[in-house]
Amino acid sequence: MNQKILMNLYIAIEAVLANRMRSILTALGIIFGVAAVIAMLAIGNGAQQEIIEQIKLVGVNNIVIQPIVPQSEEDLKEGEKKEKQKFSPGLSTQDVLSIKDVVPGINKVSPEIILDTYLMNNGIRRSAKLVGVEPNYFDIFNFKLSDGKMFTEYHMEHGEPVCIIGKSIKTKFFPTEDPLGKYIKCGNNWLKVIGILEERLISTNSISNLGIRDYNMDVYVPIQTMLIRFKNRALITEEMLQAANRGSGGMVVIIGGEEQGENTGSGTNYHQLDRLVVQVEESNSMSPTADVISRMLTRKHYGVIDFEIEIPELLLKQQQRTNDIFNYVLGAIAGISLLVGGIGIMNIMLASVLERIKEIGLRLSLGAKKFDIVNQFLFEAMMISVSGGLIGVILGVSIAFMVSSIADIPTVITFSSIILSFGVAAGVGLIFGIAPARKAASQDPIQSLRYE
C-alpha cells in the first residue's frame, strides 16, 4: 500500500516537473493569496498593538474619576423659586484615603491636581501644566526616569519645592546644560529639578482621539507641594469668611477658596482634586469596583453626583472591535484571492485530464486502479498548492517587512497567521483537486486508448 502511494507521488512529481511553466502559472493565485493573508494580518496586528500601547497611556486597568462642576441657572422665570441644592465637599484627598481603606481589590490610587501656569528660566517664558501627584502616578502610567530620582517620603510629607520635568521641558529650558540640581520658576515659586522623565512618543492623532495630553511638556511636583505652595481649593481663608459675611443673610458655603451661594452649583470649581485614578488588580472586576466607588463617593458627597467615572477598558474594547472588523475585511479579501487560486488549480487540472487521457487509459490497462489515478491527480494539485503556499509565506513576510520599513507602519507577523494561510492553501489544493481527480479516475480505459 505504501509503495503504491509513493509510486503515485513519484508520478505526480514527474508530471509537475514536466510542465513547469503551467504549474508556476497555476500556483500564482495561491502564492499571492497566501502573501496577501500574511501581509494584511501582519498590518492589522501591528495596528492593534499600537492601539493597545496608546491605551496603556490611559491605563487598561484604571478607573478614572473626574470632578464635575455644576452650572447654575440664573435666568429663572418670574415667581419661580430657586431650588436649594445640597452641599458637597467635592473630590478631595479624604476620598483617596476612603477608597484605599474601604474598596477591595485596589492596587494603587493616584490623585492629581493640575494647574495651568507658566515656566521661566534663562530668559525663556512658556505656558505649561504643573501636575501635583504621588509616586504611584509614575507606576500606574509606566513613566520612567531617564535621569535623576523619584520623589521621596520626605518630599511628600513636607511639601518640598522639588519637581520632575518632561523631556521637552529639558530641551526647551536647559538645552546646553544638565538640569538636575538646577531651579526653574513655576508661577511664583522656584522648584529644584530632581528628575527627568523619558520621552513619551505620542502622535497628534492619539492626543486628540484618546484625550491624552503631551506629557513631555508637564512639570510634576509632590501633591503636598501643590497643596501648600500653589493651590488648595479646600482651604478657607479670612478673605473668604469676610466675603461670606457680606452675603444676603442666607446660607453661604465657602469651598476651595471661592465664595458660593446657597448651593455648590454656581459654576465654581470647589474640588480639591482634578483627577483621581484607581488601578484595579483584576480587569474583570473593574465594573463592580467602579460601582462600589460610585456609591461610596455619592454617600460621602451627601447625595450630590458631582463626579463622573470612566473606564478606559471600554475604549480599549471599542478600538479592538474596530480593529477586528478591519482584520475580517482584509482576511475576506485575501480569502477571495485564495478562492480564485483554487479555481485556477481546478481548471488547470481539468485541462490536464483532457490532455492526458491516453496516459490515464494506459495506466488503467496496465493494472492501475481508480484509487491510484485519484491519488496521482490529488498529489499534483497538492504539490502545486503547497509549493505556492511556501512561496506565498516568504513573499508575505517580505511584504510585511517592506511595509514596516518604507511606510513606517508597525507590522506584527504571528506564527498562527502563517499556519492559517499555509493550511488554507493546502486545503484549497485538496478540495479543488478532488473533481479533476475523480474525472480522471472515471475514464474508460478502452475509450481512453482510442482517444485522439
* Domain identity same for 406 and 300: no
pLDDT at 82: 53
pLDDT at 2: 67
* Domain identity same for 355 and 220: no
- CB contact at 8 A, 168 and 216: yes
* Domain identity same for 282 and 330: no
Per-residue pLDDT in tens (0 to 9) along the chain, 452 residues = 566 667 667 666 776 777 777 777 777 777 887 888 788 788 877 877 776 666 655 566 788 898 987 655 554 455 555 555 677 888 888 999 999 888 888 888 999 999 999 999 888 899 889 999 999 898 888 888 999 999 999 999 989 999 999 988 998 899 888 999 999 999 889 999 999 998 877 655 554 454 556 788 899 999 999 999 998 887 765 555 555 555 443 333 333 333 333 334 445 778 889 999 998 887 778 888 989 999 999 999 888 888 898 886 666 676 667 667 766 776 677 677 667 777 777 777 677 666 666 666 777 677 777 777 777 777 777 788 888 888 888 988 898 888 888 877 778 887 877 887 778 777 777 777 777 667 766 766 666 555 55
* Domain identity same for 74 and 97: yes
Residue 187's identity, in one-letter code, is G
* Domain identity same for 274 and 135: yes
Residue that is last in its domain, among 313, 332, 354: 313
* Domain identity same for 291 and 224: yes
Q: Left (φ > 0), alpha (ψ -120 to 50) or beta: where does 401 sit?
A: alpha
pLDDT at 202: 61
**Residues ≥6 apart with Cβ < 8 Å to 183:** 121, 190, 191, 192, 193
Residue 277's identity, in one-letter code, is V
Residue that is last in its domain, among 313, 346, 368: 313
| Angle, helix 415-441 to helix 20-58, in steps of 10 degrees | 150
* Domain identity same for 151 and 70: yes
* Domain identity same for 66 and 103: yes
Total domain count, the chain = 2
Q: What domain range is 365 assigned to?
A: 2-54+317-450
pLDDT at 54: 63
- CB contact at 8 A, 141 and 54: no
* Domain identity same for 114 and 242: yes
pLDDT at 227: 92
pLDDT at 246: 55
CA angle 300, 305, 308 (to 5 degrees): 105
* Domain identity same for 127 and 47: no
Count how many residues are written for the chain: 452
- CB contact at 8 A, 22 and 383: no
Q: Give the sign of the dihedral formed by CA 214, CA 311, CA 139, CA 110.
A: positive
* Domain identity same for 29 and 76: no
Residue that is last in its domain, among 313, 339, 372: 313
- CB contact at 8 A, 381 and 23: no
* Domain identity same for 279 and 232: yes
| CB burial of residue 76 (10 Å; 0-12, 13-18, 19+) | exposed
